[in-house]
């Protein structure tokens, strides 16, 4: 912001007004502060906006999208260090606009400061094109479709030539020798392969933000990314991120008030500690926000292995006036009016997506084939192998502490049992769903049921305990004794009454009873051993860590035979949970084998 100088003071009014430059700067006073020449100022601005070729590519492609382009072609040589060329079929410009666009702060996007509130275009400051032109040899060729086109050549910020040229509607910007006149900046550029990779990432991000725009990227004459216009987001995601990663993604569709969250997140079972991808958009604009990524990860709580980092692409739609996009030189960060509310909404959106049918592991089907929505029920609308919603609680294997069957998705609809449910290898429950076969791991399923029940009981005050006629004594090592002491309050709330019996021995006077087959002594010993070794050390919340350990050890094991009513009871309670497809370790509880995959394997498709 500059200072305006006026004629002096206004004694009659008794107040100061803008004073003259001569009154401030007497001719005899030496001056050390100087106004920078425009060329130097432009190069400083270029340092903020164009730090490397990828930044120039990003700005030029965003300008093309703002111009309404449906197809954009990008060509790079030596990672953009030698040549960058971006062509589009947008609205183009006339001669006067073409020349004016190369002046700093010349823009068609805003007219007044109030226009910055709710601005939706990618560019709006009028800095990118003149900044690039000040540190390169730039040629701008454009036509607005009203007549002949215009070609402008700029060398280091100086306009050297303006001429008529034949061109279809649209614009081409060719950049040669980026940073040729700032060798200190140029020597900090990385290798051609590194700069190419950075440019690919910038273009891929924009391609994901705008699947309606066709984009072609060529590096040293070789095609690296070609996506057609008018794609759906899932098809664009599969083209950019690859089929193997796309197969493990779940669709997100969530709304809260005026805010919406869409996109895709990775299934917990497919997440890895390294190699993940994260991408955030706000009203179609890419941005970075580690706090929102952490909020999304919080939505995976109790459904993913500690240390795993899921890939995600989340697109947030919000009222423009609730988002400030003018807070970063490269527009890579934004500010929300209600940040806490947005973080909470993102966490709820992820949680909601993980609780749906599509979050269960699928065999041989990509996200393009998967459909949002669906039910866990059999094709007839009945619960598999019995009316699970009306099982006699007295005969239910897991009655104590079981959640009540839910009345909304995910749900098991009651009705006549037309579809049988089998138990394979005394470990997996199998039934026919509406789109194929559904496999359920009985241990993982029961683990999820117990975990959510324990967390609810913790909030309500604790679990009921069964007093033993004779105490059970157990010998522990020093680490396990320390774990018993550290988790004494949690043990009591979960139903274990423990006391010292002398030396390294403890006595159990009361125990929980989550199901008739529960082995209290074995569960206690295994759980304390896990806590002592820090098996669940990555869990941030101590109660969650404890509940997960207890659930793992208290659940029925693989290899145990369940009768028909017990199978039905287990599934009824599983599908009443908030996250039925996942156990507390991040493994799949449910695996789907779609009918399409079976038909493909048998050559019917």
pLDDT per position as a tens digit, 205-216: 999 999 999 999
Q: Is residue 494's pLDDT more than 90?
A: no
For residue 185, the model assigns a pLDDT of 83
- DSSP class of residue 322 equals G
Whether 128 is in a domain gets the answer: yes
For residue 394, the model assigns a pLDDT of 30
For residue 178, the model assigns a pLDDT of 93
The answer to whether residues 180 and 240 belong to one domain is no
pLDDT per position as a tens digit, 138-173: 999 999 988 899 999 999 888 999 999 999 999 999
The answer to whether residues 46 and 169 belong to one domain is yes
- Give the CATH number for residue 74: 3.30.565.10
The answer to whether residues 222 and 257 belong to one domain is no
Q: Is residue 47's pLDDT more than 60?
A: no
Question: Strand, helix or coil at 461?
Answer: coil
The answer to whether residues 183 and 331 belong to one domain is no
The answer to whether residues 325 and 472 belong to one domain is no
Boundary-marking domain end, from 187, 207, 227:
227
pLDDT per position as a tens digit, 552-592: 888 899 999 999 888 999 999 998 898 898 888 888 899 98
Average of pLDDT values for 278-296? 92
For residue 369, the model assigns a pLDDT of 45
Specify whether the CB–CB gap between 509 and 496 falls below 8 A: no
pLDDT per position as a tens digit, 7-45: 544 444 444 445 555 555 555 656 677 676 666 666 555
Whether 245 is in a domain gets the answer: yes
Specify whether the CB–CB gap between 53 and 80 falls below 8 A: yes
Specify whether the CB–CB gap between 152 and 102 falls below 8 A: yes
Specify whether the CB–CB gap between 59 and 173 falls below 8 A: no
CA distances from 479 to 488, 496, 530 (A): 14, 19, 11
For residue 355, the model assigns a pLDDT of 86
The answer to whether residues 334 and 203 belong to one domain is no
Other CB atoms within 10 Å distance of the CB of residue 39: 13
Specify whether the CB–CB gap between 302 and 451 falls below 8 A: yes
Whether 60 is in a domain gets the answer: yes
Sort residue 170 into left (φ over 0), alpha (ψ -120 to 50) or beta.
left
Whether 70 is in a domain gets the answer: yes
The answer to whether residues 171 and 75 belong to one domain is yes
Boundary-marking domain end, from 314, 332, 354:
354
Task: Indicate the length of the chain as a whole number.
Answer: 605
Average of pLDDT values for 468-493? 88
Whether 238 is in a domain gets the answer: yes
For residue 383, the model assigns a pLDDT of 43
- Give the CATH number for residue 273: 3.30.230.10
Whether 51 is in a domain gets the answer: yes
88 falls in which pLDDT band (50, 70, 90)?
A: very high
Question: Of 495, 487, 539, nearest to 518 (Cα)?
Answer: 495
407 φ, ψ (degrees, to nearest 5): -105, -5
- DSSP class of residue 359 equals G
Q: Is residue 112's pLDDT more than 80?
A: no
Q: Is residue 399's pLDDT more than 70?
A: no
- DSSP class of residue 560 equals -
- Domain hosting 218: range is 39-227
Question: Of 239, 207, 204, 199, nearest to 76 (Cα)?
Answer: 199
Specify whether the CB–CB gap between 583 and 547 falls below 8 A: no
Q: How far is CA 184 from the centre of its chain?
A: 37
The answer to whether residues 63 and 163 belong to one domain is yes
The span from the CA of 289 to the CA of 82, in Å, is 32
For residue 13, the model assigns a pLDDT of 46
Average of pLDDT values for 266-274? 85
pLDDT per position as a tens digit, 442-456: 999 999 998 888 888
Per the prediction, the chain carries an average pLDDT of 80
For residue 600, the model assigns a pLDDT of 87
335-372 burial by CB neighbour count: b if 16+ within 10 A, else e? ebeeeeebbebbbbbbbbbbbbbbbbbbeebbbeebee
- Give the CATH number for residue 532: 3.30.1370.100
Q: Is residue 241's pLDDT more than 90?
A: yes
For residue 374, the model assigns a pLDDT of 44
Top mean pLDDT of 43-47, 241-245, 349-353, 595-599 is at: 349-353
Q: Is residue 530's pLDDT more than 90?
A: no
**% of the chain with per-residue pLDDT over 90:** 39
Average of pLDDT values for 117-127? 56
The span from the CA of 243 to the CA of 507, in Å, is 55
Q: Which is higher by pLDDT, 306 or 344?
A: 344
The answer to whether residues 238 and 162 belong to one domain is no
Boundary-marking domain end, from 337, 354, 371:
354
For residue 1, the model assigns a pLDDT of 45
For residue 118, the model assigns a pLDDT of 54
586-598 burial by CB neighbour count: b if 16+ within 10 A, else e? bbbbbbbbbbebe
Residue 503: burial class (beta carbons within 10 Å; 0-12, 13-18, 19+): exposed
For residue 174, the model assigns a pLDDT of 97
The answer to whether residues 45 and 180 belong to one domain is yes
603 falls in which pLDDT band (50, 70, 90)?
A: confident
349 falls in which pLDDT band (50, 70, 90)?
A: very high
The answer to whether residues 90 and 213 belong to one domain is yes
Question: Into how many domains does the chain fold?
Answer: 3
For residue 344, the model assigns a pLDDT of 94
Sort residue 376 into left (φ over 0), alpha (ψ -120 to 50) or beta.
alpha
Whether 397 is in a domain gets the answer: no
The answer to whether residues 208 and 326 belong to one domain is no
Whether 439 is in a domain gets the answer: no
């Amino acid at each position: 912001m500059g200072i305006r100088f006026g004629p002096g003071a206004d004694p009659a009014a008794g107040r100061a007004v803008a004073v003259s430059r001569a009154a401030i700067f007497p001719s005899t006073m030496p001056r050390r502060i100087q106004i920078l020449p425009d060329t130097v100022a432009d190069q400083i601005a270029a340092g903020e906006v164009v730090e490397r070729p990828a930044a120039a590519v990003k700005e030029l492609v965003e300008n093309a999208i703002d111009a309404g382009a449906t197809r954009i072609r990008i060509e790079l040589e030596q990672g953009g260090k030698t040549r960058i060329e971006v062509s589009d079929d947008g609205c183009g410009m006339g001669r006067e606009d073409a020349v004016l666009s190369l002046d700093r702060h010349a823009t068609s996007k805003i007219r007044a400061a109030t226009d910055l509130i709710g601005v939706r275009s990618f560019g709006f400051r009028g800095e990118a094109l003149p900044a690039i032109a000040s540190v390169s040899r730039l040629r701008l060729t454009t036509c607005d479709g009203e007549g002949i086109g215009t070609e402008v050549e700029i060398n280091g910020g100086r306009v050297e030539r303006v001429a008529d040229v034949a061109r279809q509607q649209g614009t081409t910007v060719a950049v040669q020798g980026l940073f040729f006149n700032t060798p200190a900046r140029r020597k900090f550029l990385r290798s051609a392969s590194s700069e190419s990779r950075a440019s690919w990432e910038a273009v891929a991000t924009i391609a994901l933000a705008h699947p309606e725009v066709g984009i072609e990227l060529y590096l040293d004459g070789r095609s690296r990314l070609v996506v057609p216009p008018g794609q759906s987001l899932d098809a664009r995601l599969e083209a950019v991120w690859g089929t193997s990663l796309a197969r493990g993604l779940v669709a997100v569709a969530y709304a809260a008030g005026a805010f919406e969250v869409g996109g895709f997140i990775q299934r917990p079972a497919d997440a890895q500690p390294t190699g993940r991808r994260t991408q955030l958009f706000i009203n179609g604009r890419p941005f970075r926000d580690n706090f929102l990524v952490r909020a999304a990860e919080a939505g995976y709580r109790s459904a993913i292995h500690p240390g795993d980092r899921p890939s995600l692409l989340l697109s947030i739609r919000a009222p423009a006036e609730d988002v400030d996009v003018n807070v970063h030189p490269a527009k890579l960060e934004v500010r929300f009016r209600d940040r806490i509310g947005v973080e909470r909404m993102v966490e709820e959106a992820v949680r909601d997506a993980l609780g749906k049918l599509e979050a269960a592991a699928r065999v041989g089907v990509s996200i393009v084939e998967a459909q949002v929505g669906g039910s866990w029920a059999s094709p007839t609308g009945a619960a598999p192998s019995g009316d699970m919603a009306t099982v006699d609680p007295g005969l239910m294997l897991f009655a104590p502490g079981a959640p009540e069957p839910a009345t909304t998705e995910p749900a098991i609809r009651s009705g006549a049992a037309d579809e049988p449910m089998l138990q394979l290898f005394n470990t997996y429950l199998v039934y026919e769903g509406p789109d194929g076969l559904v496999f359920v791991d009985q241990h993982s399923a029961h683990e999820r049921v117990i975990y959510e029940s324990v967390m609810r009981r913790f909030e309500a005050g604790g679990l009921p305990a069964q007093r033993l006629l004779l105490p059970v004594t157990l010998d522990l090592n020093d680490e396990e004794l320390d774990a018993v002491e550290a988790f004494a309050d949690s043990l009591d709330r979960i139903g274990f009454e423990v006391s010292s019996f002398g030396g390294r021995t403890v006595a159990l006077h009361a125990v929980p009873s989550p199901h008739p087959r529960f082995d209290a002594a074995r569960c206690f010993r295994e759980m304390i051993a896990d806590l002592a070794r820090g098996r669940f050390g990555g869990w941030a919340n101590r109660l969650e860590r404890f509940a997960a350990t207890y659930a793992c050890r208290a659940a029925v094991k693989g290899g145990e035979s369940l009768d028909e009513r017990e199978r039905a009871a287990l599934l009824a309670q599983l599908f009443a949970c908030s996250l039925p497809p996942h156990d507390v370790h991040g493994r799949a509880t449910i695996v789907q084998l779609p009918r399409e995959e079976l038909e493909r394997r048998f050559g019917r498709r």
